[in-house]
Amino acid sequence: MADDSAPINLTNHFLIAMPGLDDETFSKSVVYLCEHSERGALGLMINKPTDIKLQGLFDKVELPLGRADLKDAPVFHGGPVQTERGFVLHEALQEPAAEKPEPVYASTMMIPGGLEMTTSRDVLEALSTGAGPSRVLVSLGYSAWGQGQLESEIGENSWLIVHADPIVIFETPVAQRYDKALSLLGLQAWMLSPDVGHA
Domain positions in the chain = 13-93+102-189
d(CA 16, CA 1): 29
Decide the pairing of beta strands 81-91 and 115-118: antiparallel
Could you list the pLDDT tens digit for every one of the 199 residues in the chain?
444 556 689 999 999 999 888 889 999 999 999 999 999 999 999 999 999 999 999 999 999 999 999 999 999 999 999 999 999 999 987 655 556 667 788 899 999 987 999 999 999 999 999 999 999 999 999 999 999 999 999 999 999 999 999 999 999 999 999 999 999 999 998 888 665 444 4
Residues in the chain: 199
d(CA 131, CA 101): 19
Residues 63 and 129 sit within 8 Å (Cβ to Cβ): no
Q: How far is CA 55 from CA 6, 77, 111, 166, 175, in A?
A: 45, 16, 27, 23, 21
Nearest alpha-carbon partner for 169 in 78, 68, 80, 89: 89
Residues 169 and 113 sit within 8 Å (Cβ to Cβ): no
Q: Which residues of 135-150 are buried (b: 16+ CB within 10 A; e: fewer)?
A: ebbbbbbbbbbeeeeb
d(CA 41, CA 144): 6
d(CA 150, CA 40): 7
- Enumerate residues 6+ apart whose C-beta is below 8 A from 18: 157, 158, 159, 160, 192
State residue 4's pLDDT score: 55
Count CB neighbours of 128 within 10 A.
Answer: 18
State residue 177's pLDDT score: 98
CATH topology of domain 13-93+102-189: VC0467-like (3.40.1740)
Count CB neighbours of 98 within 10 A.
Answer: 9
